[in-house]
Copies of this chain bind each other. A is one copy, B any other.
């Protein structure tokens, strides 16, 4: 059982309520991901490198993958793709939209985009969600 300061309690509860034991590694990763003001969009490699840079005792690659997958399964992360062959993850789990600006990803709140016309789902199907990507380029 680890040191239980109030700073960590919220993450420990979050993990516990998803059936994940609050190990040191998971708590550290959760703090890093969720203890911030703005949405965080990242790849597992980016997460690993930025966390391990500051640590004497490194967390293993497998644990980063395991934990990110567990948090995604528990509904705390969403996965998405850019046009390279790497998975990205999003700490904003609500349905929302994005600007893509040369590899940089910026959230657009759901209510900033509304539709005048949308197609019907094919028969037998229904719409799960609608997400928009606005690709940007530099002026001039």
Contact = CB atoms under 8 A, between A and B. Distances in A.
Nearest to A118: B113
A10 to B, nearest CB: 29
Question: Secondary structure of the A side of the interface?
Answer: strand
A127 B135 contact: yes
Q: Which size class do A's interface residues fall under?
A: 35 or more
Interface in A94-140: 99, 101, 106, 108, 112-119, 121-122, 124-139
A135 B133 CA distance: 14
Nearest to A101: B125
Contact of A125 (B79, B133, B136): B136
A74 interface: no
Contacts of A82: 81
Contacts of A135: 127-131
B116 A115 contact: yes
Nearest to A123: B139
A125 B138 contact: yes
Given A85-B85, A130-B134, A132-B132, A114 B113 contact: no
22 contacts: A81-B81, A81-B82, A81-B83, A85-B85, A85-B86, A85-B87, A101-B125, A106-B122, A112-B117, A113-B118, A114-B115, A114-B116, A114-B117, A121-B134, A125-B136, A125-B137, A127-B134, A128-B137, A130-B132, A130-B133, A131-B135, A132-B132
